[in-house]
Amino acid sequence: MVPSSAIQQGPSASSAEVDVSLKHAVFDRFVHGLLIVDARGRVLMGNRSAALILRAIGVPGSRVTCCELLGCEGPEDCPTSLALAGDGQSDEVRRDLRHGPRSETIWVSAFALAEGPARVLLQLRRGDPHDRRRREDRGWRAQALLRITTLGHTALVCGERAIEGGWLDQRAGDLLRYLIVHRERAVSADEIGESLWRGAGFEVARNVRTTVHRLRNELEPARERARSNAYLLTRGGSYRLNQEMVQIDADEFEAGLRGARELVGKQPEVAAERLEQALALYGGELFADCPFAEWALLERGRLHQLACDALDRLAQLRCEEGQPELARQALERLAELQPLDERVCRQLVSLDIADGRHGDAKRRHDRLARMMRESLGYPPRFTLSELAPGNADEIRK
């Protein structure tokens, strides 16, 4: 969030000052860890997420080098050295970090900064220890990772190249989404056909083969004809995504939630931070640009519920920490996902009343009452006077 001071400066603030303020805000609040190191790999500064990662594995935030932190085996294995010696950036690599009894799975990428002395920006992205990819598996690094955004509108990035086009709204795009929904297993051509081409009869097999060919060409247009596709695997008439080469935001979202749940009873403050980081990845319903796909409903509902449960837990943790405003933010977002949830509305109304926001409390209750009558045919089962009997007359005004 941009500091209020940057907003309130108004015309008197120079564009350069505002620009610097925005850069600092984005750096500090970025969802993944960011470290800036010098040419010798010494850490110069880091953001809030990086500090949480270092704290989680027991590494001090200062007097540490890139190689000490990441366990680099030499210049050819060091992201900092590779970024400075190459074209300004290094491939993303996995590191399983262990310092003392704690460990973390981290994906690391490095980018040389163009201005000033030789410095490198390291991005630390928390990974899932159950991920099939391993740092020692050099083969997957020959091709760029395909990153797919599914939470909200579908978007694809391969390396530095965005993959766009009208095909995403056609059968090839539907096939990709279908494979993402069933990414943990291979799906047969018959299953694909029954879901995407109901009633197509004997043409199903041909339709599937044609669409698979189109999808492969869109994902990897420069692929040599004889070489297998890096992102889509075929075996015995079945298809699946290559999870060693495809990174999906929904998987990162789930991995972040799992890591947060493990810390709830041990380090509630860190757990709350991790919940916020994971929830930042939830940009909307799964495949919001394909809302009527029946085959996506179960997975969409599952991820929706995970987000709701995480927001509920985050609100509880913030209340226990004595941070009602942060709890309110989590509840406000939860109310957007569950607009007819009386319990969530009741909590928000209680916070409004406690803060003396009686007008907000009444408007919130009235809005819920209207939606419930229109959708369910009955009003909320709680009243404003129940929550603030001493202020009931003032609230009704």
pLDDT of residue 394: 43
pLDDT at 37 over 80: yes
Residue 102 phi, psi (nearest 5): -100, 150
- Give the per-residue pLDDT at 143: 66
Q: How far apart are CA 122 and CA 88, in angstroms?
A: 12
Lowest pLDDT segment from 13-22, 125-134, 160-169, 257-266: 13-22
Cα-to-chain-centroid distance, residue 118: 31
- DSSP labels for 120-150? EEEEEEE--TT-S--TT-GGGGGS--EEEE-
Shared domain for 305 and 278, answered yes or no, is no
Residue pair 395/361 in contact (Cβ under 8 Å)? The answer is: yes
Nearest to 106 by CA among 86, 132, 135, 85: 135
Does some domain include residue 51?
A: yes
Region 240-265: mean pLDDT is 93
Q: Domain of 102?
A: 31-130
| Tally of CB atoms within 10 A around 324 | 15
Highest average pLDDT, of 25-39, 84-98, 308-322, comes from 308-322
pLDDT band at 159 (very low <50, low <70, confident <90, very high): confident
pTM of the model: 0.68
Give yes or no for residue 131 having a pLDDT over 70.
no
pLDDT above 50 for 156: yes
- Measured in degrees and rounded to the nearest 5, phi and psi for residue 215 equal -65, -45
Q: Which of 97, 130, 163 is the last residue of a domain?
A: 130
Closest of 330, 335, 333, 329 to residue 371, by C-alpha: 335
Residue 378 belongs to some domain of the structure: yes
Q: What is the CATH number of the domain that holds 322?
A: 1.25.40
Query: Band of the pLDDT at 60, cuts 50, 70, 90?
Result: low
On whether residue 228 sits in a domain, the answer given is yes
**What does 245-289 look like in DSSP terms, one character per residue?**
TEEEHHHHHHHHHHHHHHHTTT-HHHHHHHHHHHHTT--SSBTTT
Distant-in-sequence, close-in-space partners of 347: CB < 8 Å, separation ≥ 6: 315, 331
Q: Are residues 303 and 275 in the same domain?
A: no
